Amino acid sequence: MCSVCYKGYVYDSQADFDGVQVVSQSGHNIVFVNFNYRVGIFGFLASEKIRENGDLNVGLLDQRKLLSWVKQNIAQFGGDPDHVVIHGASAGAGSVALHLAAYGGKPPDSLFVAAISESLFFPAQPFLQEVEWQFDMVAGLLGCNTTGVDQLACLRGQPMLFLQALNVAAPFPGRRDNPLFFWTPCVDDTLIQDLPYSLYEAKDFLPVPVMFGTCTDEGSIFVSPLTATQLEFTNFFQNNFPDLTSTDVANILDHYPQIAPAFTIPVTGPWYPTLSKAYGDSTFTCPSINLLRHITARSVAGANHLDYSNKIFAYRYNVQAPENTISGLGVPHVFDAAAIFGPSSLPGSSLSYFGTGPGGNAPIVPILMDYYISFIRTLDPNVYAAPGAPVWHPWRDGTRLKIETGNTTMETVMTQDLERCVFWETLATQMRQ
């Protein structure tokens, strides 16, 4: 199992967390590989000048280099080079989706046999020509835009600390406030040959078994709890997806009428629940659901693959923790990570994961962990499922496992939620997803 992490392609997410518990739980039947890759300005600064004398999307290429190394060397550690399963959380899950569609689904090398996506992340991922201004901005701030100066050579000659100082966000052209995620992969016509949704719509991705999971309240940690007005809602979306028009945002509002806050304490802005839901759907939940739909459509037997429709699995993580409920976060982004790898493996894990009494979530840890281990070992989460765990049925037409302490069961995605996800995909071009 190779695990890809990192926050928004920008921040260090401590990718060296301990995998001992999950390996031990597997009976030492898996080898766990975690790794670092370049992020931010070092991983995703892009320009035609870089393409002419270097590589684009080097953060993703770092990942593929690691996967190639695993393929060549994992047998020396007791692993099977012909049974590599990749896993990613958040931007790592976005990376997984991009690797599935890398080189238009026709990569020069076979690096993995299955993929797991935990909270799939689709920020704006623009075309190369649309991010030239970022390169020019960095070059200008470092004095590399003087006439006659080789800008790329000048940048390469800068001290790393100078570049790191510019590893920050700035407003997109025509917008006033910073986006949440400024440095992201771009469409480079080689590794990433089109917008992600377009690649999946065209079936330009690898036909392999997959597991996709999301948390119930994916957007809650990303938007301001003080969001008070519809104008703030509009500005947030246009600051993060600058090609959305006023008409586009009006259509978003039609699909997301204002939701009343669930609690009076903590005090939140009246538009916080609505923005949290809409952003969570647009950027995390619906990319997962929409890709599951496209993967399922291709899963029937084809010229180059067998029918694998029974190897497509999805879950919604709905495990409540007192501190998240009190703070109004619900079940936030990647809250399932502590159950997947064990709470002792992730610093800052919820104390609820260590408790077995009322409000304790310790019982859910072996259930989710064993499902993951089983999928990694057999490409089926049921073979080595925990004793008493319910049978996990394939996705097919919208069936997923609801994972909840004391109440894990299959559920069907609501029609309204499926329709909203279809709506978000109609905005894929404007949102560069």
What are the tens digits of pLDDT across the range 379-431? 999 999 999 999 999 999 899 999 999 999 999 999 999 999 999 999 999 99
**Strand, helix or coil for residue 7:** strand
Mean pLDDT estimate for the chain: 94
Residue 116 near residue 88 (C-beta atoms within 8 A):
yes
Has residue 86 got a pLDDT over 90? yes
Q: What is the pLDDT of residue 359?
A: 87
Please, which pLDDT band fits residue 82 given cuts at 50, 70 and 90?
A: very high
Q: Average of pLDDT values for 195-210?
A: 98
> What pLDDT is attached to residue 348?
87
pLDDT range class, residue 301, cuts 50, 70, 90: low
pLDDT at residue 264 in the model:
58
Q: Catalytic site residues? A: 90
Ordered structural domains, the chain, with CATH: 2-224+279-431 (3.40.50.1820)
Name 189's Cβ contacts closer than 8 Å, sequence gap at least 6. Answer: 128
Structure-token pair, residue 251 = 């259509």
> Is residue 7 scored above 70 in pLDDT?
no
pLDDT tier at 308 (50, 70, 90 boundaries)? confident
pLDDT given at position 143: 96
The overall longest dimension of the chain from CA atoms, in Å, is 70
In total, the chain counts a number of residues equal to 433
For residue 14, pLDDT beyond 60:
no
pLDDT exceeds cutoff 70 at 80: yes
Mean pLDDT over 165-186 rounds to 96
Give CA separation, 193 vs 98, 127, 185, 396, in Å. Answer: 10, 10, 11, 28
Q: At what angle do helices 58-73 and 91-100 cross, to 10 degrees?
A: 70
The answer to whether the CB of 208 falls within 8 A of the CB of 112 is yes
Predicted pLDDT at 261: 74
DSSP single-letter state for residue 391: P
Q: With 60 as the cut, is the pLDDT of residue 334 above it?
A: yes
For 271-294, what is the mean pLDDT?
A: 98
Mean of pLDDT values over 235-260: 97
Question: Percent of the chain, pLDDT > 90?
Answer: 87
Dump pLDDT digits (tens) for 111-166.
999 999 999 999 999 999 999 999 999 999 999 998 888 999 999 999 999 999 99
What percentage of residues in the chain have a pLDDT greater than 70?
95
- Whether pLDDT at 13 is above 90: no
Could you give the CA distance from residue 262 to residue 291 in angstroms, rounded to a whole number?
Answer: 30
